[in-house]
Amino acid sequence: MTTEQRRRPEKRDEAAVSAFVERFAAQLVEAGMARMSARVFAAILSSDEGQLTSAELGERLKVSPAAVSSAVRYLAGVNMLSREREPGSRRERYRVHSDQWYEALTSREQIIRRWEETLRHGIESLGPDSPAGARMAETLGFFEFIERELPQLMARWREHRDQVYGPGAGAGPAPQG
């Protein structure tokens, strides 16, 4: 699909879009995301503009503003969407960026580092030669490997994205790392 084809608006089958939102949300729930956050993310991701207001989300998902509010709070906290004020309005729009997966993954580095530190203490407490200590050492090794490899993987992704989708395709906050 060319960039022009991606930008050309087409008539949407709202029932099919709704089915996609629910199916993708269900898969995100299976991966550990809260149901409402998954539905909100899938709804915004599937909007042509990549952004929706709380009222638009409530209407599309048939949910209350409170349900939307807690979902967007979580999603903003894990860098999967951003909040933006509409110019001249108090209303907020919630936006996904094409680099939201990059941001979500790289924001996990701090969490991985904390897990590594906790695993080191666990290994020390249990003894590195105990079965549990050995299991934790392998888990620690996995996280250390991921932490080492993630920056190179993300750099390769940015290069690939630019080649396939064009320079600057990941509109949004500048990637860090």
Q: Map residue 95 onto helix, strand or coil.
A: strand
Clarify whether residues 40 and 114 are in a common domain.
Answer: no
Q: How far is CA 150 from CA 3, 15, 33, in A?
A: 28, 38, 22
pLDDT (tens digit, 9 = 90+) per residue, 146-164?
A: 889 988 988 898 899 899 9
Name the pLDDT band for 166 (thresholds 50, 70, 90).
Answer: confident
Mean pLDDT (the chain) is 85
CATH number (domain holding residue 8): 1.10.10.10
Clarify whether residues 8 and 33 are in a common domain.
Answer: yes
Q: How far apart are CA 64 and CA 58, in angstroms?
A: 6
Assigned domain for 172 exists: no
Clarify whether residues 88 and 111 are in a common domain.
Answer: no
pLDDT (tens digit, 9 = 90+) per residue, 33-65?
A: 999 999 999 999 999 889 999 999 999 999 998
Assigned domain for 81 exists: yes
Q: How far apart are CA 105 and CA 112, in angstroms?
A: 10
Backbone CA torsion sign across 31, 17, 172, 34 = negative
Q: How far apart are CA 28 and CA 100, in angstroms?
A: 14
Whether 101 has a pLDDT exceeding 90, the answer reads no
Assigned domain for 8 exists: yes
This prediction has a pTM of 0.70
CB 33 within 8 A of CB 50: no
